[in-house]
Structure 1
Amino acid sequence: MTSEELSRNWHTVRTRIAGACAQAQRPADAVALVAVSKKQPAAAVRALYASGQRAFGESYVQEALAKQAELADLAIVWHFIGRVQANKTRALATQFAWVHGLADAVHAQRLHEQRPPELPPLNVCVQVNLSGEATKEGVMPEAVAPLLAQCAQLPRLRVRGLMTLPAPTADEHEQRRSFQALRQLRNQVATPDCALAELSMGMSDDLVAAIIEGATLVRIGTAIFGAR
């Protein structure tokens, strides 16, 4: 895909986000775009950066590290979006600004211990399994509050909010139902010391429903970069 096509797709996505914000009567800047660049070449990331995108999401650690090295001259905010594995926590703690998908107290402890003290606290979103399926990543809703309490004891982590990855569906009512459930859970478990201001939810096919239900971070790959 050419730089011009990437820029055009990016602007189209930003227009969709602005339109959804208007529909929800939210400020246009209420939602941040994370461009999911996994399986995309570093050149595509560089081209999109030139258009003005700063936050990029990666899901495969080794691929991300190689890309980060190649793009070290750019002020990119790197988000890890994917399953946290114990043998990869050091790389996440040292090379990323955000981790979407924290779902384990042991991983939280490792990320805390491995976060370099000279860096700001690692921003994390707790991933919630709203469907209850054993094959899905994330903690069950009833386990969110205990995990938050454990994270509160780890000063090198900063829990920013909740994240979910619902089952794909073209039914907007079903899309909104899942996102509404995450927002309602956030409202139940948030505290003055842990406001959980961020809701990381919504991708290329359901970003409008997510924004209407309160998303503050949308993770968009295909609509920008095309099919992988």
Structure 2
Amino acid sequence: MTIDDIPTRLGQVQDRLLAACERAGRAPDSVALIAVSKKQPAEAIRAAYCAGQRIFGESYLQEALDKMAELTDLDIEWHFIGRIQSNKTRQIASHFDWVHGLSDPDHARRLNDQRPPERPPLNVCMQINLSGEDSKSGIEPKRAAELLAACLAQPRLRVRGLMTLPAPCDEEDGQRIPFRRLRELRDALASAEHPLDYLSMGMSDDLEAAVLEGATHVRIGTAVFGPRPYN
């Protein structure tokens, strides 16, 4: 596995997304691919960018900032998909276009207050913990309306939808269950004024199930970049 393989692997993922959209009766452009580039070098991101990829997801703040500094010549849309820590909200608010994984009203307030005035409102997806696993971030579904209200009160945030990271499952029917629950929760929370029309769900092993249940963003790392950093 080398950096030269990235365009081919990216094309294979795009083919999977196209096939999944066809199965679901959805337009091919209704699902955005977030290339999860955490633990990958800047050269790998550049290779994917040259192959047409524009949206990248990072989980580790300092690593992401270092790569951003190396890639200032590229028009990248940066998504923060890691666990949010209070002492890092200023940098997240300053450097990212999207945040997936917002689950704390205090973090919402901090991101709002620390978003630079010259930048547009920060796009956010609220993370929902559907499995109840203590190891997973996210808010309980029953508290989602409370979090939504706290987020909507922040003028420098733009709440776009929901995100989840379900427990692994090998069977597509089983994979679809949490994604369906997230879609149903979104439908229950959405309003004409706040449609919450984005669902961030699905990764390398379950993107087809996610697309079938309405994903608008899939977060794909291994299938694009391989399982480990390059030498």
Normalised to the residue count of structure 1, the TM-score between the two structures is 0.98
In structure 1, the gaps of 5 or more residues are: none
Q: Which residue of 2 aligns with 1:172?
A: 172
How far, CA to CA, are the matches of 2:102 and 2:157 in structure 1?
Answer: 11
Residues 35-55 of structure 1 deviation map (CA, whole Å, 9 limit, x = unaligned): 000000000101110011000
Q: How does 1:2-17 map to 2 (within 5 A)?
A: 2-17=2-17
- What stretches of structure 1 move > 3 A for 4+ residues in a row? 1-4
Q: How many residues align?
A: 228
Aligned to 2:51: 51
Aligned-partner residue type, residue 91 of structure 1: Q
Q: Offset at 1:227?
A: 0.6
Alignment of structure 1 residues 23-172 onto 2, 5 Å: 23-172=23-172
Of the structure 1 ranges 56-65 and 2-11, higher mean CA displacement relative to structure 2 is found in 2-11
- TM norm structure 2: 0.97
Q: Percent identity?
A: 61
Q: Provide the alpha-carbon RMSD of the alignment.
A: 0.8
Q: Give me the whole-angstrom Cα distance separating, in 1, the residues matched to 2:23 and 2:201.
A: 17
Cα distance per residue 1:92-126 (max 9 Å; x no partner): 10000000000000000000000001100000000
Matched, 1:190 2:210: no
Q: C-alpha displacement at 1:134, in angstroms?
A: 2.6
Deviation at 1:11, TM superposition (A): 0.5
Q: CA offsets, 1:60-93, max 9 Å, x none?
A: 0000000000001110000001111101101110
Amino acid at match of 1:140: E
- Partner of 1:78, secondary structure, is strand
CA distance in 1, matches of 2:111, 2:192: 24
**Matching residue's letter, 1:105:** P
Q: Which runs of 5+ in 2 are unaligned?
A: none
